[in-house]
């Protein structure tokens, strides 16, 4: 299946933006090669596929998210594929971050020993779910008495080391950031730009569901 001409042009524009924002991944890619990528991308026919990992609405856009990663390194819980209706939020960022950690740990097991985040409950629940799926150790820093029991149970039930600190979220964030700069612990908070690579696919999925017509 080939994209219609309008879709290919939209893909090329998006790819140019991605290339400009990620010079570490696309330092010397010529535009003809970028165009050939847009012709070869198959996100429209990857929808609802069971072939790993394209059942995820993040990884069906793999070429836009983390093109260099092997499918065997991807950590996915088949996130996304949300029908176009109103919702307060959807979360797509953690799959990319944990997948990259999985890849880096295979390349150098000593580079990243554990993944850590500061959280008031939601980020930690997502992180430990993905880390547990890939058997990657995790640590979460939580402000004492400031999260719900349900939010506390999720990291504990996944075997995560939970540190309850007598401070607020900002205090937890300051501590985890300081620690991750000194020891081989990988920061999973939004200071890490990999979180955005998954989150941006929500906009692409909306466009796809609206037949590439930008909604108001």
Q: Looking at the 3D structure of the chain, how many domains does it have?
A: 2
Cα separations in angstroms, 189 against 26, 170, 177: 25, 12, 9
pLDDT in tens, 34-90: 444 444 455 555 555 667 787 788 888 888 888 889 989 999 988 877 766 665 555
pLDDT computed for residue 172 by the predictor: 94
Residue 86 lies in a domain: no
Residue 106 lies in a domain: yes
Q: Are residues 99 and 178 in the same domain?
A: yes
Secondary structure of residue 152 in the 3-state scheme: helix
Q: Are residues 37 and 98 in the same domain?
A: no
Element (H, E) at 185: strand 185-187
Kindly report whether the global pTM for this prediction surpasses the value 0.85.
no
Q: Are residues 180 and 104 in the same domain?
A: yes
Range of the domain at 134: 94-194
Closest by CA to 94, choosing from 127, 122, 71, 66, is 127
pLDDT computed for residue 171 by the predictor: 95
pLDDT in tens, 137-188: 999 999 998 888 888 888 898 889 999 999 999 999 999 999 999 999 999 9
Residue 115 lies in a domain: yes
As a whole number, mean pLDDT of residues 22-45 equals 50
Q: Are residues 37 and 100 in the same domain?
A: no
Residue 151 lies in a domain: yes
């Amino acid at each position: 299946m080939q994209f219609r001409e309008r879709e290919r042009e939209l893909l090329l524009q998006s790819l140019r933006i991605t290339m400009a924002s990620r010079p570490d991944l696309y330092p010397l890619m010529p535009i003809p090669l970028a165009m050939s990528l847009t012709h070869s991308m198959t996100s429209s026919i990857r929808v609802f596929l069971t072939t790993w990992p394209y059942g995820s609405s993040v990884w069906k856009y793999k070429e836009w998210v983390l093109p260099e990663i092997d499918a065997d390194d991807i950590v996915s819980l088949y996130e996304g594929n949300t029908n176009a209706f109103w919702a307060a939020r959807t979360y797509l960022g953690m799959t990319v971050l944990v997948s990259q950690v999985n890849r880096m740990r295979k390349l150098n097991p000593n580079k990243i020993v554990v993944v850590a985040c500061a959280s008031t409950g939601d980020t930690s629940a997502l992180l430990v779910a993905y880390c547990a799926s890939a058997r990657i150790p995790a640590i979460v820093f939580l402000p004492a008495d400031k999260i719900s029991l349900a939010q506390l149970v999720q990291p504990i039930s996944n075997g995560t080391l939970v540190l309850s600190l007598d401070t607020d979220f900002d205090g937890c964030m300051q501590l985890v950031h300081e620690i991750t700069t000194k020891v081989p612990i990988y920061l999973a908070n939004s200071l890490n730009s990999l979180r955005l690579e998954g989150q941006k696919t929500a906009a692409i999925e909306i466009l796809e569901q609206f037949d590439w017509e930008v909604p108001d």
